[in-house]
């Protein structure tokens, strides 16, 4: 909707994990390189964790674009599975024409497939997203898959992507053998304040040759304070802010618009950082009569409407409401 207004080739802040928009922060690049290394060197087990929206899936998609041609990938996104359902899902993702049966029969067919692929010099990779939802029983089944190996290398590389709860779950003493199998573990944190600004610039540059100077410095400070550097939250706020700018026909996104976006999306400040609360309080103090009615302190339009006898659009809760009404009467009498 707003692409033409800002001169964008496409929306820069979609929340889908598009590897085209991969932002190479130090941590995301390290995670990407760790994945590529583990897969190409057939290290077996890899665990990548991060907060919701931290960019785990985007890193994964970027990894897939950089793998060697002899690599086949099975991606599991539904993790509410039984052990048998998981094996069947893996066979389906690898496009194996298998015969339904017991779990053991499915495992036997998977093992034969893996051996055939090894003989053909095919590197097989299993990626399980949202792995924190896997039960301990299914996690143990995943560990058993890593037992499918030759004397020299694993038949399948397994990557688990999940929220921080995954790490806590893997620390269960019953999963000690699983922990010992993990060759690479990496946690993706939120972006820093400077990285958040670079992230916004990076996405804008990809869709526009001259539209990088759209968000004011204070607006980006507020975006960081709210999002804590989580890419998905940054995208949500920026996309909504650009839409508001389009509606108001404002080409520069200021902190006023960001504050409005956070409020309108019901992204309440009650759970926000102290920095964001302080910034919001300061902004309200600068703009409004009071934080309750939030009408502009020196709104010329408001007073102009009053002189014409038009509605003031004031709030009865506002401490200046009666004064507004009295002043309107004075203007009318004069």
Question: Global pTM?
Answer: 0.74
Instruction: Tell whether 178 is covered by a domain.
Output: yes
CA–CA distances in Å: residue 195 to residues 27, 191, 192: 11, 5, 5
Residue 280 sits in a domain whose CATH number is 1.10.8.60
Q: What pLDDT, on a 0 to 100 scale, did the predictor assign at position 281?
A: 53
Q: What pLDDT, on a 0 to 100 scale, did the predictor assign at position 289?
A: 42
Residues 227, 175 within the same domain: no
Supply 67's token pair. 């793998």
Instruction: Tell whether 295 is covered by a domain.
Output: no
Q: Which phi-psi region, left, alpha or beta, contains residue 130 (left: φ > 0; alpha: ψ -120 to 50)?
A: left
Residues 6+ apart with CB under 8 A from 176: none
Provide the domain limits for residue 176: 24-188
Q: What pLDDT, on a 0 to 100 scale, did the predictor assign at position 276?
A: 57
Residues 98, 168 within the same domain: yes
Residues 75, 138 within the same domain: yes
Residues 55, 166 within the same domain: yes
Task: Please list the pLDDT of the chain residue by residue as tens digits (334 residues).
Answer: 788 888 899 999 998 888 899 999 999 999 999 899 988 888 878 999 998 899 998 998 899 888 888 999 999 988 888 999 999 999 999 999 999 999 999 999 999 999 999 999 999 999 999 999 998 889 888 888 877 777 677 888 999 999 989 988 888 888 888 888 888 888 999 999 999 999 999 999 999 877 678 999 999 999 998 888 999 999 999 999 999 888 888 889 998 899 888 887 654 444 455 555 555 555 544 444 444 444 444 454 554 554 455 554 444 444 455 555 555 444 443 3
Residues 97, 226 within the same domain: no
Which residue in 201, 221, 219, 222 sits closest to 210, CA to CA?
Answer: 201
Residues 40, 154 within the same domain: yes
Instruction: Tell whether 262 is covered by a domain.
Output: yes
Q: Which of 165, 188, 211 is the last residue of a domain?
A: 188
Please write the tens of the pLDDT for every residue from 51-66: 889 999 899 889 988 8
Q: What pLDDT, on a 0 to 100 scale, did the predictor assign at position 302?
A: 52
The number of angstroms, rounded, from the C-alpha of 217 to the middle of its chain's C-alpha atoms is 22
Instruction: Tell whether 15 is covered by a domain.
Output: no
CA–CA distances in Å: residue 300 to residues 1, 62, 144, 316: 31, 52, 72, 19
Residues 263, 219 within the same domain: yes
Residues 37, 157 within the same domain: yes
Please write the tens of the pLDDT for every residue from 14-32: 988 888 999 999 999 999 9
Structural domain total, the chain: 3
Phi, psi of 85 (to 5 degrees): -65, -35
Instruction: Tell whether 292 is covered by a domain.
Output: no
Residues 231, 183 within the same domain: no
First to last CA, the chain: 47
Residues 177, 30 within the same domain: yes
How many residues in total does the chain contain? 334
Residues 235, 149 within the same domain: no
Longest dimension (CA), the chain: 98
29: burial class by Cβ within 10 Å (0-12, 13-18, 19+)? middle
């Amino acid at each position: 909707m707003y692409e033409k207004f800002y001169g964008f080739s496409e929306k820069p802040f979609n929340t889908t994990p598009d590897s085209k928009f991969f932002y190479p922060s130090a941590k995301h690049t390290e995670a990407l390189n760790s994945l590529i290394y583990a897969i190409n060197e057939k290290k077996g087990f890899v665990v990548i964790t991060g907060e919701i929206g931290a960019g785990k899936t985007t890193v994964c998609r970027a990894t897939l674009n950089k793998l060697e041609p002899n690599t086949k990938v099975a991606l599991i996104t539904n993790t509410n599975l039984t052990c048998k359902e998981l094996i069947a899902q893996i066979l389906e993702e690898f496009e194996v024409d298998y015969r339904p049966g017991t779990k053991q029969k499915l495992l036997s067919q998977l093992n034969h497939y893996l051996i055939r692929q090894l003989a053909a010099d095919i590197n097989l990779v299993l990626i399980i997203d949202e792995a924190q939802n896997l039960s301990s029983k299914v996690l143990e089944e995943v560990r058993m898959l890593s037992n499918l190996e030759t004397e020299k290398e694993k038949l399948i590389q397994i990557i688990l992507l999940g929220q921080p709860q995954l790490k806590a779950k893997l620390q269960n003493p019953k999963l000690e053998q699983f922990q010992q199998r993990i060759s690479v573990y990496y946690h993706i944190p939120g972006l820093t304040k400077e990285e958040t600004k670079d992230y916004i610039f990076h996405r804008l540059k990809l869709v526009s040759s001259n539209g990088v100077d759209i968000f004011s410095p204070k607006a980006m400070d507020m975006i960081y304070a709210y999002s804590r550097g989580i890419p998905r939250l940054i995208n949500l706020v920026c996309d909504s802010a650009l839409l508001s700018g389009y509606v108001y026909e404002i080409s520069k996104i200021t902190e006023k618009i960001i504050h409005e976006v956070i409020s309108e999306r019901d992204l309440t400040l009650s759970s926000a950082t102290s920095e964001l609360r302080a910034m919001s309080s300061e902004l309200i103090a600068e703009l409004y009569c009071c934080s309750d009615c939030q009408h502009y302190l020196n709104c010329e339009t408001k007073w102009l409407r009053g002189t014409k006898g038009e509605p003031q659009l004031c709030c009865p809760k506002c401490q200046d409401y009666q004064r507004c009404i009295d002043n309107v009467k004075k203007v009318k009498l004069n």
